[in-house]
Amino acid sequence: MSTTSSEFLIDGLSFVTKTDGDTATVVRTATGSPITQQEKDDAGSYYDSATDTIDYAKIHNLDFGPNFLDKLGGSDEWMGEALTDSVYKNAFKKATGKTGQNLSFAAAIEANKYWESTPTNSNANGKSNRGRNSTMRYPLNESHRVKYDYLQVTAYKHEANTFASIGNRGFTDADERIGVSVGKVFLPMQPEGLAEGNGVDWQDGTAGAIEGAAFRTAQSAIGAAAKGGEGNVVTRVANAMVGQGIDEVQNLVQGSGISNNDIAAFFAARAVGNNSLFTRATGKVLNPNLELLFNGPKLRKFSYNFRFTPREERESREIKRIIKFFKKNMAPQRVPSKLFLKTPNVFKLKYIFKGGGQHPFLNKLKMCALTNFNVQYAPDGSYMTYDDGSMTAYNVSMDFAELNPIYENDFDDDSNDMGF
């Protein structure tokens, strides 16, 4: 026999829970706000016209672990909120008696301890943010009893970089200045996208003996200016350059087999802008001391391809929302004056293992920009739609690029994950 809770409100919508053993059903009632036609359409057979209620979801795990809800007649947007917003979980716990002192519902009613409306996040105008930070998923009918691996993509408002404090003497990484989340998508794993490649830029570097001597002379002069001491800066720099220059010339002539004529020919060729004249005049070339030198890191790129095949009307609408989500968040934002364009939103990608945390055997990704997004509306070579006009299949390809490179200290040898 099931136990029905008192009604409670979340974001102006009224609910009860019907607990039966180790499971419970979340039921939408019409008390707090009338049930809309859109809700009825989404619910289908889960709407009971006799009682004007909708079985929104099934709580199959009263321990309220990850993915504790199975979707029934609730909208996909509501399911996303219920699974990710702690306000919902806390309300369900209270309704099913799984938190705090186990008071009976009858006792609560007698004591007139009706619950107040459960608040949700609101914007500066006091309006609900419901729908602004929506959660979408494909496919829709994935069972929450079976723990699947999936790709989680979250969009965030871009936060501009600024000069860090004097103590840091640098910039902060994109992952250290995460903006407000504006939506989330759960997508199935795709073998083509499960790959990574990191690169580091190395380039040929040369330095001749005479260039080395000039470098040390300039280094000595700059060091003298920075060190300070008696006399003005110009005098200290001049004295340092003259002293170091004489030493360098003597070292070249005495220790390296370079003659005064060689030095004169080298600088004369440089002066007229034709280095080959040095070789013509001396029959020599300077040893370039060729070495491969580190030139900087490279940014990683990731490509994904997804095929969406809607099997019902609700899933078709969800695919449309997912496509619009990516197109909207990658687009630059125009300020009201139209004088400037703001940076598009950025994305955090994460491989989820069995509905939990970071996959232990797949790489992590830093904050990314969506650089390319392509949709094929007729991927099978012919134009086919359902009765409502939705396409029978969509091929979607996406290219992401990380905003910051990978550094050695990003890796933790003691962690249980693959690292970046």
Domain boundaries, the chain: 3-110, 134-198+299-410, 207-289
State the sign of the Cα–Cα–Cα–Cα dihedral 308, 314, 319, 322: negative
Is the pLDDT confidence value at 20 over 60?
yes
* Number of CB atoms found within 10 A of residue 282's CB: 17
The top-scoring range by mean pLDDT among 123-132, 378-387, 393-402 is 393-402
Q: Please report the pLDDT score of residue 167 as a whole number.
A: 55
Q: 8-10 and 13-20: which strand pairing?
A: antiparallel
Q: 181-188 and 134-137: which strand pairing?
A: parallel
CA 203 to chain centre: 31
CA 382 to chain centre: 36
Which residues does 238 contact at the CB level (< 8 Å), separation at least 6? none
Q: What is the C-alpha separation between 374 and 395, in angstroms, rounded?
A: 8
Q: What is the C-alpha separation between 137 and 188, in angstroms, rounded?
A: 9
Is the pLDDT confidence value at 186 over 70?
yes
Q: Please report the pLDDT score of residue 253 as a whole number.
A: 57
Average per-residue pLDDT in the chain? 81
Is the pLDDT confidence value at 100 over 50?
no
The residue type found at 276 is S
Give Dmax (Cα) for the chain: 109
Q: Average of pLDDT values for 356-383?
A: 92
In the chain, % helix, strand, coil (3-state, to 5) comes to 30, 25, 45
Is the pLDDT confidence value at 246 over 70?
no
Q: Which two tokens stand for residue 100?
A: 């705090």
Q: Please report the pLDDT score of residue 152 as a whole number.
A: 92
Torsion of CA 125, 330, 375, 137, to 10 degrees: -50
Q: Please report the pLDDT score of residue 164 as a whole number.
A: 57
Q: Which residue has the higher pLDDT, 116 or 252?
A: 252
The model's confidence at residue 168, banded by pLDDT at 50, 70 and 90, is low
Which residues does 72 contact at the CB level (< 8 Å), separation at least 6? 25, 43, 46, 55, 56, 57, 58
Q: Please report the pLDDT score of residue 142 as a whole number.
A: 59
What does the buried/exposed string (b/e) look like for 217-248 if buried means 16 or more CB atoms within 10 Å of the residue's CB? Answer: beebbeebeeeeeeeeeeebbeebbeebbeeb
pTM: 0.62
Q: Please report the pLDDT score of residue 103 as a whole number.
A: 34
Q: Please report the pLDDT score of residue 126 as a whole number.
A: 44
Is the pLDDT confidence value at 91 over 60?
yes
Is the pLDDT confidence value at 121 over 50?
no
